[in-house]
A and B are shown apart, each in its own frame.
Chain A
Amino acid sequence: MAPVLRLENVTKRYGGTVAVDGVSFTAEPGRLVGLLGPNGAGKTSTIRMVTAITTPDTGRVTLGGETVGPATQRRMGYLPEERGLYRKLRVGEQLVYLARLKGMTKTDAVAAVKRWLDRFDASAWWGRRTEELSKGMQQKVQFVATVVHEPDLVVLDEPFSGLDPINADVLEAVIGDLRAAGRTVVFASHRMESVEALCDDVVMMAKGRVVLAGPLREVKRRYGRDTVSVAWSGPDAWLDALVGPTGDGADSTANGSAEASAAASGVRVLRRSAGQATLRLDAGTPPRRVLDAALAGADDVDRFDVHEPPLDEIFRLAVGEA
């Protein structure tokens, strides 16, 4: 079983700015931990301390009880947000080099790189220059570089950014395998919905602090089943009437009106697009008020669902509480 990653009251300053402020959390083996927060929340600064690229000003980062450093680096794989490879090097040589920097012998590295390229149907790329590959192919190569030395801890910073749907599926499957194999996976993203589908635990950061942390199911349950999603056909005037005069009927972007309406009616729009909306109910507002309005105003109601709030809404609430 892979060791536990633990951050204890970790702080990092750059000049006068506190990038990470007293952050503590734990990542368990066999679980996928989502490190969430908007850009500038301190995710990358935190990750750089976990990967021992930088050291905390105060506090401690440990992997299996050992303070992170050159020794633990060999047991980690890191996929940075800003992807990069040596453009002129051939794929095989590049991956073998990166694996050897992680302490593998040349023979082991060659075998492992071949195995991983096979797994990605990419054996034919061995002798090709990296710069000749498409962006998606380069991302696969980079992912192989992250996991080729079979690390105990895998740290992925925005792993899905820029991936096409097919490669995203492949990556998701591999991440699932890593988790099944008992590895510890930390996965940073500002795109909450991608995390929601994958993570076991979440750590939410804002302005350098952890605002909320815990198992995803528990966190969601804590915020209650007070959200409804509704899909309908026909006119949408009923929704404008429901949310009141502040509702912006012309807005059809996915999440543009999220903060738009503080509803007198006890209903707020989280997401809205043509014929679909996700609504948050204030305390005491029964879900059927939305259903009644939809049935009365729309031609037909295709779907109606009561559920927990989406992560981005939970994040907003958590920041508000913090």
Chain B
Amino acid sequence: MSPTALIAQSEYVRRVRSPWFIATTLLTPALAVAVFAIPFLTVSLGGGDAPQTVAILDGTGALADSVAAALPASYTAHETGAELGALREAVLAGQLGGYLVLAPGVLDGTAQARYFSRGSGLEEMAVLGEAVREAVRDERVRRAGASPAVVALLDARVGLEQVSVSEDGDAADGALVQLLVANVLAFLIYIAVLLYGAMVMRGVIEEKSNRIVEVIASSVRPFELLMGKVLGIGAVGLTQLVGWGVLMAAGAAALGPLLLALAPAAAIPAAGAAAGAAAGAADLPIDPAALSAAFAPGLLAAFVAYFCGGYLLFAAVFAAIGSAVDQESDAQTLQVPVMLPIVVPMLFLPAVLSQPDTPLSVFLSLFPVSSPVLMVVRMSVTDVPAWQVAASLALLAGAFVGMIWVAARVYRVGILMTGKKATFADLWRWVRTA
């Protein structure tokens, strides 16, 4: 067995059997499921809508009844003629949830409806706003002399179903699912690079502060030690991701029907909150066909490839940083130049999600530092030409070779340096002279 393989094997075995690894592998999916499941359960089990009393001060004389009728059952609305001051007192005293003031100008669009309360959640504002809009529209239509048939037509909902077209066939309802998948995959790569990169760094610092590194360096080349460590820990990361994938799939298979049974479709809130823009339009439960289409084999293969590429690119740098310090707390300042390129691409995530085919998005998905996260995002939401994927992977591989070359030069000097805290100037000197 080559030294690199031997070191990788030892690094891998040591970590995979540790309680830390077993615990995080088992608990993370449980945590992820909990994050998604808890909002479902709290709403569907009736934690959500507290009864709310709303007084309506109707200056138009035509809207109060229809607003009251448009509000959900958990709202008790009544028209009032009370003074504003008295209503305010009632709200402050807790006798009244809030009061809605509908000025006469609301009907012709010259005034706004105003709602006074101790403070309202987003959902409450949306519910009230929708009720007022509906009542005003109906009244405007009625005054314009439209027949009830026209009103009924206006009330009829128009949906827009998104259908993703790809070589593998068309999948309905794909957009939301794709956004969800894109986010999950992007965050997984981002977190994995940070998590396992930092693990490499800690491993290097441990060997250095233990002084075992000098014994190892008298047995194998520093480059072999560096590569063995990077590859071994990379395999740990891959094992963990696969473990998570399997557990999540098993969990989804077991828990999915249970959640759907508990949660009537209408009551499901913005479970896709992680999907940002998609949240409001959440049209769950997800069509299983759309879900499996979103996790196309090609995308999963690309995910693994970009996880490996992104990890390798940054792990080498983390190792170099670890080699330059004696203890973890000294590594903070040196970590900045490696953290920035990991974090900054995440800032472009919303832009790439909403416009995956702009030149900027294409560039970011080709550029080696940002490609691991953003190409996977693009691939989840749009059909990326194969040449772009190939070019992006080739650039990533090239960047890795360059990075490990630089990192190895820093590493082989750094691991034998003790006492002095290295600066960027030192690191640069090591790269040039090593």
Contact = CB atoms under 8 A, between A and B. Distances in A.
Contacts of B1: 100
Interface in A66-112: 70, 73-74, 76, 78, 80, 82-89, 97-98, 100-102
B6 A100 contact: yes
A102 B7 CA distance: 12
Given A48-B416, A53-B416, A97-B10, A86 B210 contact: yes
Contacts of B416: 48, 53-54
Interface in A110-145: 142, 145
B218 interface: yes
A82 B218 contact: no
Contacts of B14: 86, 88-89
Nearest to A47: B218
Nearest to A15: B429
Interface residues of B, number: 22
Question: At the interface, is chain A mostly helix, strand, loop or mixed?
Answer: loop
Nearest to A86: B212
A84 B220 contact: no
Given A54-B416, A89-B14, A101-B7, A80 B211 contact: yes
A258 interface: no
Contact of B221 (A70, A76, A83): A70
B213 interface: yes
Contacts of B147: none
A257 interface: no
B3 interface: yes
A84 B214 contact: yes
B213 A84 contact: yes
Contacts of B213: 84
Interface in A44-76: 48, 51-54, 70, 73-74, 76
Contacts of B7: 101
A101 B217 contact: no
A53 B211 contact: no
Which of B14, B210, B211, B215 has its CB near the most chain A CB atoms (within 10 A)?
B215
Contacts, number: 59
A53 B218 contact: yes
Contact of B211 (A74, A84, A89, A101): A84
A74 B10 CA distance: 19
A78 B220 contact: no
Contacts of A74: 219
Contacts of B215: 78, 80, 84, 98, 142, 145
A223 to B, nearest CB: 35
Interface in B1-41: 1, 3, 6-7, 10, 14
Contacts of B401: none
Contact of A73 (B207, B211, B218): B218
A82 B6 contact: no
B210 A98 contact: no
A52 B3 CA distance: 16
Interface in B384-434: 416, 418, 429
Nearest to A79: B215
B418 to A, nearest CB: 8
B212 A101 contact: no
B221 A101 contact: no
Contacts of A78: 214-215, 218
B219 A80 contact: no
B344 interface: no
Contact of B218 (A76, A86, A89): A76
A185 B96 CA distance: 92
Contact of A87 (B3, B6, B210, B218): B210
Nearest to A82: B211
Contacts of A80: 211, 214-215, 218
A102 to B, nearest CB: 5
A21 B300 CA distance: 58
B184 interface: no
A84 B211 CA distance: 5
Nearest to B210: A84
A101 B210 contact: no
B220 A70 contact: yes
B210 A102 contact: no
Interface in A1-40: 15
A78 B220 CA distance: 12
Contact of A83 (B211, B216, B218, B429): B211
Nearest to A102: B219
A80 B208 CA distance: 13
B220 A85 contact: no
Nearest to A89: B14
A223 B211 CA distance: 39
Contacts of B216: 98, 101
Contacts of A51: 218
Interface string B192-233: 000000000000000100111111111111000000000000
Contacts of A97: 6, 10
Interface in B299-321: none
Contacts of A85: 210, 212
A310 B278 CA distance: 85
Given A84-B212, A84-B214, A100-B1, 5 more contacts: A86-B207, A86-B210, A86-B212, A101-B3, A101-B7
9 contacts: A51-B218, A73-B219, A80-B215, A84-B210, A84-B215, A85-B210, A86-B212, A87-B210, A97-B6
- The 7 A-B residue pairs with the shortest CB-CB distance, nearest first, are A84-B211, A84-B212, A82-B211, A78-B218, A101-B219, A51-B218, A84-B210
